[in-house]
Amino acid sequence: MTDAALAAPQPPVWRRLIGFNFITALILGVVGWYVGWFGAHAIHGASINDIPSATDYNELSVYLAYIGGVVGFLVGLGFLNYPLARLRGYPPSLREKETGGWTRYFSLCTDHKVVGIQYLWGIGLFFFIGGLNAMLIRTEQLSPHSQVFPMGTYLTIVGMHGTMMMGMMTSGILGPFANYLVPIMIGARRMAFPRIEALTFWLLMAAGAILTTSIFFGGFPTGWTGYAPLQTQANPGIDNYIIFFALVGLSMTLLGVNMIATILTMRAPGLTWTRLPIFVWGVLSTAVLMVLAAPVLIAVLSMGAFDRTVQTTFFNPSGGGSSYLYQNLFWVFGHPEVYILALPGFAIVLEILPVFARKPLWGYRLAVAGLLGVSLLSWFVWQHHLFVSGINGDLRPFYMLSTELISIPTGFTFLCGMMTLWRGRIRFAVPMLFCLAWFFNFLIGGLSGVFLSDVPSDVTTHGSFFSMAHFHYTIMGGLVFTFFAAIYFWVPKMTGWQLNERLGKIHFWTMFIFFNSTFAPLFAIGFLGQSRRSPVYTGNLQFLNDWVSVSAFLLGISMLVFLFNLVWSLAFVRKPAEANPWDSRSIEFQLPSPVPVHNFDRIPVFSSDPYGYGEGPMPSLLPTGAPAGSD
């Protein structure tokens, strides 16, 4: 708490624990859950005397219980206070921003920097749970027979891992880093809708808890795609999947709207479109995808929920529905979704490379065109997921072509990145290492994607471990590596403490090596015929599978190295971070670490883009006129 504003006397801790905060939210969440649960039993005609003892479930009870729980949770955090106060005639305010101390991380806070840090820890928690599930999958795969878990449990673990990872990492960059950085990078003091910003975070946390508790309702057998008709027939654990993903969709839509509104309307004087940091362009193109794709997800899941509760037949052929409808709608969301994961990664690479190559970003406009081109094309490819579904084969050539076209704008990103490195003075700091690894991993991910987008080869690789290897190379090798680049690059700025460089390098090298030794063999395993979502494989694949499992465990350990670094550096060593440890020209590094509550004393005026390395002295906003270096 370096901030003078926050050093004002705080009420004692016991006083801060009473009121609208995390504890109240948990209590009201449980209350809301039971209200919904018993309400559903009442609707189903249980007599009032039976309701208190109603421990059986019906479909409706699971939905109403969790909806009640989420509402109670949000009310407990205080999300109704402001709208109600306004209805009673109180003037507008941003009072939630002024709170200080650690308790603000456990409450509704409208400071975009607090929300960014909340997101980092919150997503990190569920990423860890998703990772543990991956370890369990690889434990089962140590043997060619179903050995460790019963079949249904195994499927639940696979689905839980995939769904958790997709749902959480979708906001993996925009949640922590765009919320924290976009206002600063565009010279604003807050996001356009600060309460909606906080809402997106708490919705996501509620969603994560709901998916995790799916195990109490028997889990779900569908994997992360939730295909009907399996979905319609599954036990109530799938309701948790549906509520989880619908809430994630809601959170994504609101996050996207907020980003678009902020970037369009709140840029400081002089910040023209061609001066916008490339990271902000990446956020904008992702946000557009979020706003257009996520509502489709909410819609398709709602239809599934209706099929399960009130006997509609959207996806049920016997009532005139079709499971193709589910598959199409899901992938109309699902394919843009994979670019919602990938684009922020591109943006981080392009943002960080110039700093460590000491060169301006090469081909700025081409890079922007690449980001926008990917988001546009991603709408025209979804049926490549249905090549072998039996749907009309005449559609195949179009989707094959459109999918391959995406490699052109993606190539722009590669080209701009490579040309920025060309003849640069490269420093191999930890964030840079993670960005360089992105080139390697994403190239393999992209090239293997060609085999899946070409119908003749997809017919044999679809549904095998080959596609598993492909998308882990793009999502984990692409997005998750840049996620760590962003952490090492910006967390010192966000927290004010340095991360240990040596541990960072150990983390990088172990993660890079064991990531590749986990996922590269999966291409071969896929070609040799092992199918996805099955604990059983032929005996001749055991050696390769054991190799992969051991590598995966070592990969898991490399994550523990990171976690250790984080906790050790931030909680114990606490070496203060400099304002500008990387000699960056970007505006957030011209502010003190951590950034003060109001970001800027005066709103800055921009006169150039942030990539003018080698072009005169660094800009300075530091209040003390501290040396910002020159380059």
Q: Does 275 bind ligand HEM (CB under 6 A)?
A: no
**Is-contact 241 212, C-beta < 8 A?**
no
Among 162, 183, 249, 592, binds ligand HEM (CB under 6 A): 162
Which CB sits closer to ligand HEM, 28 or 444? 444
Among 70, 74, 109, 165, binds ligand HEM (CB under 6 A): 165
Find, among 442, 436, 571, 432, the residue nearest to 500 by Cα: 571
Question: Residue 555's binding partner, choosing from Cu ion, ligand HEM, none, with beta-carbon cut-off 5 to 8 A by kind?
Answer: ligand HEM
C-alpha to C-alpha distance for 282 and 412, rounded to whole angstroms: 13
Among 72, 78, 131, 496, binds ligand HEM (CB under 6 A): 131
- The pair phi, psi for residue 431, each rounded to 5°, is -60, -35
Question: Residue 166's binding partner, choosing from ligand HEM, Cu ion, none, with beta-carbon cut-off 5 to 8 A by kind?
Answer: ligand HEM
C-alpha to C-alpha distance for 34 and 240, rounded to whole angstroms: 16
Task: Please identify, among the stretches 52-60, 163-171, 231-239, 623-631, the one whose residues bind ligand HEM according to the rule CB under 6 A.
Answer: 163-171
Q: Does 166 bind ligand HEM (CB under 6 A)?
A: yes
Q: Which two tokens stand for residue 503?
A: 């541990």
Report the nearest approach of ligand HEM to the CB of residue 367 (Å).
24
Report the nearest approach of Cu ion to the CB of residue 83 (Å).
39
Task: Please identify, among the stretches 60-68, 160-168, 305-313, 600-608, the one whose residues bind ligand HEM according to the rule CB under 6 A.
Answer: 160-168
Question: Residue 234's binding partner, choosing from ligand HEM, Cu ion, none, with beta-carbon cut-off 5 to 8 A by kind?
Answer: none
Which CB sits closer to ligand HEM, 85 or 506? 506
Question: Residue 491's binding partner, choosing from ligand HEM, Cu ion, none, with beta-carbon cut-off 5 to 8 A by kind?
Answer: none
Q: How many CB atoms lie within 10 A of CB 66?
A: 26
C-alpha to C-alpha distance for 631 and 626, rounded to whole angstroms: 16
C-alpha to C-alpha distance for 119 and 280, rounded to whole angstroms: 18
Which CB sits closer to Cu ion, 30 or 391? 391
Q: Does 462 bind Cu ion (CB under 5 A)?
A: no
Nearest residue relative to Cu ion (C-beta):
335
Task: Please identify, among the stretches 136-144, 335-343, 368-376, 467-475, the one whose residues bind Cu ion according to the rule CB under 5 A.
Answer: 335-343
C-alpha to C-alpha distance for 563 and 573, rounded to whole angstroms: 14
- Using CA atoms, how far residue 560 sits from 202, 400, 557, in Å, is 26, 41, 5
Residue with tokens 């997800």: 297
Which CB sits closer to ligand HEM, 137 or 432? 137
Which CB sits closer to ligand HEM, 132 or 415? 132
Q: How many CB atoms lie within 10 A of CB 629?
A: 12
Task: Please identify, among the stretches 90-98, 255-263, 269-277, 468-476, the one whose residues bind ligand HEM according to the rule CB under 6 A.
Answer: 468-476
Which CB sits closer to ligand HEM, 236 or 535? 535
**Which residues make Cβ contacts (< 8 Å) with residue 321, sequence separation at least 6?**
307, 312, 313, 314, 315
- Using CA atoms, how far residue 342 sits from 378, 521, 533, in Å, is 11, 23, 24
Give the SS3 label for residue 617. Answer: strand
Which CB sits closer to ligand HEM, 341 or 432? 341
**Which residues make Cβ contacts (< 8 Å) with residue 237, sequence separation at least 6?**
156, 214, 215, 217, 218, 219, 220
Q: In b/e form, how buried is each residue of 567-576, taking b as 16+ CB within 10 angstroms?
A: eebbeeeeee
- Using CA atoms, how far residue 439 sits from 416, 420, 432, 478, 558, in Å, is 12, 13, 11, 8, 20
Question: Residue 117's binding partner, choosing from ligand HEM, Cu ion, none, with beta-carbon cut-off 5 to 8 A by kind?
Answer: none
Which CB sits closer to ligand HEM, 65 or 169? 169
Task: Please identify, among the stretches 333-341, 416-424, 496-504, 616-624, the one whose residues bind Cu ion according to the rule CB under 5 A.
Answer: 333-341
Question: Residue 335's binding partner, choosing from Cu ion, ligand HEM, none, with beta-carbon cut-off 5 to 8 A by kind?
Answer: Cu ion
Per-residue contact string for residues 74-113; x = within reach of ligand HEM by CB under 6 A? ----------------------------------------
Which CB sits closer to ligand HEM, 161 or 335? 161
**Which residues make Cβ contacts (< 8 Å) with residue 141, sequence separation at least 6?**
535, 537, 545, 548, 549
Instruction: Number of residues interacting with Cu ion: please give it, by CB under 5 A.
Output: 1
Which CB sits closer to ligand HEM, 131 or 277? 131
Residue type for position 578: E
Residue type for position 202: W
515-534: which residues touch ligand HEM (CB under 6 A)? 518, 532-533
Q: Does 326 bind ligand HEM (CB under 6 A)?
A: no
C-alpha to C-alpha distance for 196 and 189, rounded to whole angstroms: 16
Q: Which two tokens stand for residue 417?
A: 């990145």
Measured N-to-C along each axis, helices 59-77 and 278-309 cross at an angle, to the nearest 10 degrees, of 140
Q: Does 480 bind ligand HEM (CB under 6 A)?
A: yes
C-alpha to C-alpha distance for 631 and 629, rounded to whole angstroms: 7
Residues near Cu ion (CB under 5 A): 335
Binding footprint of ligand HEM on the chain (CB under 6 A): 131, 134, 137-138, 158-159, 161-162, 165-166, 169, 223-224, 468, 472, 475-476, 480, 518, 532-533, 552, 555-556
